[in-house]
Amino acid sequence: MTPAARAQAAITILDQILAGDAAEAALLRWARGSRFAGSGDRAAVRDLVFDSLRCKRSRAALGGAMSGRGLMIGMLIEEARDPASIFTGDGHAPAPLTPEDREGMRAPCGIEGLDLPDWIWSRWRSSLGESAERVAMAMRDRAPVWLRVNKLRATAAQAQAALSDDGIMVEPFAALPSALMVTQGGRRVSGSRAYQEGMVELQDLSPQLACAALPEVRFALDYCAGGGGKALAMASGGIRNVTAHDIDAGRMSDLASRARRAGAAIKVSAPGKVSGRFDLVLTDVPCSGSGTWRRTPDAKWRLGEAGLERLLEIQAAILLEAAQFVAPLGYLAYMTCSLLDDENGSQVARFLSRGGFQLESERRYSPLDASDGFYFALMRRC
């Protein structure tokens, strides 16, 4: 595919997303219907789509319309490229620019330039203070790929060597050498020997840092396990007895195979069937995902104020449920991939006001210091 044909494909997919389709579903539908597109084409089109969703408001202003066409025009203007070089109408290229296209072009203003929904700005600013604009701008860029070395299978040096054999270059994080940032060959990770043999897992830096800060205990429960990434991280970190639970069993469908690959013994509890007490209960609760919007940018535009309020209710309920499984003097860890204080410090403060637990530590990570936005609070039963 030519660059112009890729742009036209992105326009088609973006129009479907703007009409309400989920990004992944629209991309998959296009890929299935475009057998002529090679893996490089599919990756390039995906990048065009996701880059445009990250910068949807600013590029729509630059391109003169909130449409796939407007977003592609805006991208070219933002990159100081002449849109007419792509919008030629030749072959599979987008149709040439029209006077109407040119009349609508303008510089983004206000929150448009930060590529955030208007409704969230007050919460974003009150949560992040002086760094609010810088974090918003960081969310317009692609997130780096991070790997976690699985200490049950390899040392950091062994994992790096195996990755290098497959053309994947990494850099260890100074404060946590088992966290590896991929600098070359990121698309090869899932097919690499290091990944297939369980030496590494895909996991962003911020949850790796949070999991590394968990206390050493005998029995741990990952109460909202999802795919099991944090349960596996706890096992890799030396916790021998880890139980995974999620209210939706389907989300844990791959956990058994992931655990086998990692050499980890993870006990899986059926939904609502957790019993007993644990030295550590981890709750990575459903949240806005505002800290990961550069990875799932369509989620940024799907979330509304009513949806956030529902999430706050769910988070509070999960904290109360999970707390009952904490042993005397045990720990309760609360995590979100959110940057909003409503979901983070304020949520924890409301929980602590009920009594029975005290705050041991808390930390918020952002793209300015630890890749994804993430919040971690560690509480202990009094």
**Catalytic sites, residue numbers:** 337
Cβ-Cβ contacts under 8 Å for 312 (sequence gap 6 or more): 342, 343, 347
* Token pair listed for 271: 């939904």
284 annotated as a binding-site residue: yes
141 annotated as a binding-site residue: no
Parallel, antiparallel, or unpaired: how do β-strands 357-365 and 200-202 relate? unpaired
Q: Which amino acid is at 381?
A: R
Distance of CA 60 to the CA centre of its chain: 24
Cβ-Cβ contacts under 8 Å for 149 (sequence gap 6 or more): 155, 156, 159, 177, 178, 179, 180, 199, 200, 236
Q: Exposure of 169 by Cβ count < 10 A (0-12 exposed, 13-18 middle, 19+ buried)? A: middle
* Token pair listed for 364: 């918020």
CA distance 67 to 11: 8
* Token pair listed for 57: 């408001």
Q: Exposure of 302 by Cβ count < 10 A (0-12 exposed, 13-18 middle, 19+ buried)? A: middle
Cβ-Cβ contacts under 8 Å for 132 (sequence gap 6 or more): 124, 125
CA distance 344 to 336: 7
Residue for token digits 């899932």?
Answer: 190
Closest by CA to 348, choosing from 320, 327, 324, 377, is 377
Annotated binding residues for S-adenosyl-L-methionine, as ranges?
246, 284
